[in-house]
Amino acid sequence: MRSGDWEVWVCDSDGSNPVQLTSFRHGGTERPSWSTDGKQIRFTSNAEGHSQDYVIDVTGGTARKFETLSGAAARLFPPRGASPDRKLRYFTRDGGVLSVPIEGGQERAVFTFPKPIMYFEVCAAGIYFLTFGTTSPSELMFYRFPNGPITKVAAAVNPAQVGLSVSPDGRWLLYTKLTSLGSDLMLVESFN
């Protein structure tokens, strides 16, 4: 919202040097995630009236529809919720994270957590997840494979409900923060 519209931005880890990548100027963007080579970002936008996935280079340029990518380019983006080796798919249910083999098989509980989980991202070392705080602040947490522990990474002040992503090298974490929210009050005279 820095530009007045929901767009995709990148910046240094301390928040400095923000660069706007997209320029849809309407609609919303959400769920940004890194490609495995760290050179592109996949995200969802409803700028054309319905939600679809796009890809843009981290250096900028034109966003391309994900469905138009060739097989090799599409393989740079693991399926949402998939393990890095693409053998398991993770999902949330009933206050926890579960896994199931992508090829089919039995579900397995990975861990439970007392706060609702807003978003999660799987990486080689474990699962980062963002809690949803209603009576207490949201938190960015990490579950280490194979059996925990769960540790707090940081307080997540005003996280927006539009995604979480870990860079392929595991050094960077991306989540969206809601910094302002507003609306306009309009008066219409002689309205009948």
Give the other-Cβ count within 10 Å of 107's Cβ: 12
CB 91 within 8 A of CB 81: yes
CA of residue 158 relative to chain centroid, distance = 15
Question: Tell me, what's the pLDDT at 150?
Answer: 95
pLDDT in tens, 167-179: 777 777 777 666 6
**Considering the entire predicted model, what is its pTM?**
0.63
Cβ neighbours around 125 below 10 Å, total: 13
Stated as kind and residue range, the H or E segment containing 72 is helix 71-74
Residue 69 structure tokens = 């990518």
**What string of pLDDT tens digits covers the 192 residues of the chain?**
777 778 888 877 667 788 888 888 877 787 788 887 888 888 888 888 888 888 999 888 899 988 877 777 777 776 677 888 888 989 888 888 999 998 888 999 999 998 888 888 888 899 998 887 665 677 888 999 999 999 998 777 666 666 677 777 777 777 766 666 666 777 778 766
How many Cα atoms occupy the beta-carbon half-sphere of 113 within 13 Å? 30
Every domain of the chain and the residues it spans: 1-77, 78-192
Average pLDDT, the chain: 81
Which class is domain 78-192? mainly beta
C-alpha torsion sign, points 158, 160, 163, 167:
negative
* Interval 132-146: pLDDT, tens: 766 567 788 899 999
